[in-house]
Structure 1
Amino acid sequence: MLVVQTTIPVDESQFEEATTAARRVAAASREESGTLGYVAATTVGDDPALVFVERYEDVDAARSHQDTDHYAAFVDAVCEFADGQTTTHQYEVANHEAVTFTTAELRDSI
């Protein structure tokens, strides 16, 4: 599995446009073959940014994602609203386990 985490700083005056573009690319990306998960979120605080966490079956699935029309449209939109350096981290994961818990269990674990 390949996990990709990307942070894109956003011009505050373009924040609405940025979140709209993020919603579009996330919805379309979740439908792609080989995509295990695709989350788009925003940061909390003074420096607005989009944060993506993408999970793919493998590197080929991630490359296929980059060849889609919705990805190309998003990259074009980024040029309009990005405000600084974009940072991407990629992790190849050999084994993983999903762990679920309630908020009560989380509170009790502290």
Structure 2
Amino acid sequence: MLVVHATFPIDPDNRGEALDLIESLAEDSRQEDGVIDYRVATDIDDSNLFRFFEQYEDEAAFEAHAETDHFEEFERALPDLLAGEPEVTRFDVEDASPVEL
């Protein structure tokens, strides 16, 4: 499994446009083959910082995601929406299991 955690600091003046794009991106991404989960949340300390949590079955699914129209649309718009540098971290995971609380 491949897991991606990405953060995007969005310019407050562009938050509405960014939110529309992000909602559409997340919804469309969850429909892709090989996507286990695709979630976006705002940071509790900064509502203009969007955190992406993405899980893919494998590298092929991740690469296919990067080639979709909805991802490319988001990628094209992103430079005009940002208020800083995005951070993206990739995790290659061999095993995952629920944690009892």
TM-score normalised over the length of structure 1: 0.85
- SS state at 2:44 partner: coil
How far off its partner does 1:48 sit? 1.8
Aligned to 1:54: 54
Cα distance in 1 for residues equivalent to 2:68 and 2:58: 16
Unpaired runs of 5+ residues, structure 1, are 101-105
How far off its partner does 1:47 sit? 6.5
Superposition map of 1:56-95 within 5 A: 56-95=56-95
Q: State the AA in 2 paired with 1:29.
A: S
Let me know the Cα RMSD of the aligned residues.
1.4
**Preserved CA contact (<8 Å) 1:19 1:50:** no
Q: Which has the higher helix share?
A: 1
Q: Taking structure 1 as reference, are residues 17 and 34 closer, same or farther at Cα in structure 2, changes over 3 Å only?
A: same
Q: State the AA in 1 paired with 2:21.
A: A
Question: Is 1:12 equivalent to 2:12 in the alignment?
Answer: yes
How far off its partner does 1:46 sit? 4.2
Q: Taking structure 1 as reference, are residues 90 and 69 closer, same or farther at Cα in structure 2, changes over 3 Å only?
A: same
Q: State the AA in 1 paired with 2:10.
A: V
Unpaired runs of 5+ residues, structure 2, are none
Cα distance in 1 for residues equivalent to 2:46 and 2:91: 28
Cα distance in 1 for residues equivalent to 2:47 and 2:96: 32
**Preserved CA contact (<8 Å) 1:7 1:50:** yes
After TM superposition, the runs of 4+ consecutive aligned structure 1 residues lying more than 2 A away are 44-47
Identity %: 34
- Which of the pair has more CA radius of gyration? 1
- SS state at 1:38 partner: strand
